[in-house]
Structure formats: structure tokens, C-alpha cells
Amino acid sequence: MSAYEPQLGNVSVEQGTWRFERAMDIQTDPYLLDHVVEGLPVLPAAYLLGLMTQAAHRMLPHRTVRGVRNVRFVQAARFKGHRSLQLTVTAEPVETEPDRISVVISSRMAPPRGGSPYILRTHASGEVLMGEPEERAARFQRIDFAGAADYAELYALPKEIRHGPAFLAGVCYRHRSPDQLLAAVASPGRPQRGWQGAPDTPGWPSTLLNAVLHVGFSLGVLSRARTLLPLEIEAADLYAVPQGPVQVFARRKSTQDSRQSLHVVSWDERGRPVGVFRGFALQEVP
């Protein structure tokens, strides 16, 4: 398994539904140890999103991932000690739109005591849009980050979360207003290979999704200094995977009680769009 990216498991197909299954633990997926929340390794929400795009791309390998819609992060996948969970990714085309793939990610874990029922959880659901590749025109201005603050300061917040090398994609940032955050991110641990793990890897890289969305997460944390949970992404447009560093702009659109909604835009060094995320909602941990 990759030290940085989650992978789909064995596949079975029945009546148009694709079902990927595999065991996952901290040994098969060592990057889990680089995202520890309140003392336990947790599969990052962006990695669940990456698995969704992998599944859709495996179903339609002749098409390109164009975006996602109506993504819901239901329950975190946590790992205790060396116990593994059986991860299941189920994907099927939407009946009226064959290029729109509905995906659900769930898991089954053995109980801590014999005789108890298996622990069943749903972790995420959403739709992946597939289509023809789109030519990207440069429409964003490259930002000069000379003298910007070290992104390591953001990784240190909140204190309940510990990050390791596979997760550390942020380079520098500017917090120019309470509702805006600018940052530069780069592929963690493997600059010579870029964001894509291998030329034939399906879907969109989880490390890139994570790097971009973490800028939005960091903006949310800066305003409350509290641990936040990702809840949903209303829509995202995804473009060609860049080779080099990416610049990211996160803006808070609304705050209601303990919930925040953000808009996150990213582009490559030539100003071409990478990913545009709308309705990225975060919720404070009670």
C-alpha cells in the first residue's frame, strides 16, 4: 500500500453496482498515523472523498473526474491499536445520468468482546461527476508569498490533532482578514513525483484534496480555536491534477451557531484552476 494514499480493495460487480472491499489498519495504511485526533488515528475526510473519485474512475476509466456533489461526512473512521476495519466502497450510476456516480463508504469492525455484534458504520456518501477533460484557461493571479508565515503554525492548531509527514502539505500562509486565508501547498514528502502517486492511479489524489481543504479547515479553526468536524461539501469542480505547488484561497461565507460554511478555490502556478469547493461546512465538536 502507498505511504500517502488510500487504495480501493477487491471489486465485485452485480447488476451495475460496484463493490470494493478491503481490510484497513495502521499497518496496511501507515499514513493513518500522521492524522491522530484525540489520541486515535483517523482516516481524513478528504481521503474518503479521494476514494469516492477512485471508485467512479474505476467504473468509467475512459472518462475524467469533473467534480463531486452532495458529499456528506457521516461518521469518522477511527482506529484503535492494531484492530482493522473492513472498508466497503459501493458505487453505482445514477439512473437518469450515467456520468454521475453515487458512492457510499462504510465499514465493519469486529467487536471488542466475543459474542457482541459487529460494529457497522457509514462514513461518507456523495456523487462523483465524470465527463470529458476540460481545457483550463488561466484565470487566477499568482500570489507572492514572500515573507508569509510558516504553515506549521496552522498544523499546530487545534492541539487535539497531531499531524505527521504524510499530511504536511502546507508551505506558508497569509491570514489577511478574519474571514479569509491564503496559502501555498506542495505535495508532501515526494516533490519529485508530484501529487499523483502513479500515472495509472485512478481518481483525484487524496493528498491534494486534503491539502486544499485543510486551508479551509484552518480558517475555521483560527476563528474559534476549537476542533472542527467536516460535515459536507455541496459541490466541487475538479480539474486536471497539477504537477507542482498549488495556491489556495479560503473564504468564510456564513456562520450560524457552531457551524461554518466556506468557499475554497485553488489554482496552479500558471493561474489555472485546480479545484473549486462550494459549501464546505464545518461543525464545532461539542
CATH number at residue 116: 3.10.129.10
Backbone angles phi, psi at 226, to 5 degrees: -130, 155
Predicted TM-score of the model (pTM) = 0.94
Is the pLDDT at 1 greater than 50? The verdict is no
Residue 47 has pLDDT above 80, yes or no: yes
Q: What is the mean pLDDT of residues 184-196?
A: 79
pLDDT digits (tens, 9 = 90+) for 244-270: 999 999 999 999 988 999 999 999 999
Separation between Cα atoms, residue 230 and residue 46, nearest integer Å:
9
Q: Considering 131, 160, 176, which residue would you say is the last residue of a domain?
A: 131
**Beta strand pairing call for 119-131 and 64-73:** antiparallel
What proportion of the chain, given as a percentage, has pLDDT over 70?
96
- The answer to whether residue 125 scores a pLDDT higher than 50 is yes
The answer on 98 and 17 residing in a single domain is: yes
Q: At 224, is the pLDDT very low, low, confident or very high (cuts 50, 70, 90)?
A: confident
Contact 92, 58 (CB under 8 A): no
Q: What is the pLDDT of residue 169?
A: 94
Domain final residue, candidates 71, 97, 131: 131
Same domain assignment for residues 96 and 159: no
Q: Is residue 141 part of a domain?
A: no
Report the phi/psi class of residue 101: left, alpha or beta, with left for phi > 0 and alpha for psi in -120 to 50.
beta
267 & 154 share domain: yes
Instruction: Answer whether residue 230 is part of any domain.
Output: yes
Q: Is residue 97 part of a domain?
A: yes
Number of domains in the chain: 2
DSSP 70-111: EEEE-S--B--TT--EEEEEEEEEETTEEEEEEEEEEEEE--
Q: Are residues 122 and 44 in the same domain?
A: yes
130 pLDDT higher than 50: yes
Q: Show the cell assigned to 135.
A: 481545457
Average pLDDT for the chain:
92
Which one of 131, 163, 192 terminates a domain?
Answer: 131
* Dihedral sign of CA atoms 187, 189, 191, 194 in order: negative
CA 70, CA 205: separation in Å to the nearest integer? Answer: 19
Q: Are residues 58 and 169 both part of a single domain?
A: no
Range of the domain at 189: 149-284
pLDDT at residue 3, rounded to an integer: 67
Report phi then psi at 31, rounded to 5.
-60, -20
**CATH number of the domain where residue 181 is located:** 3.10.129.120
Q: Are residues 83 and 185 part of one domain? A: no
Query: Omega into 158 within 30° of 0, i.e. cis?
Result: yes
pLDDT at 199 (0 to 100):
65
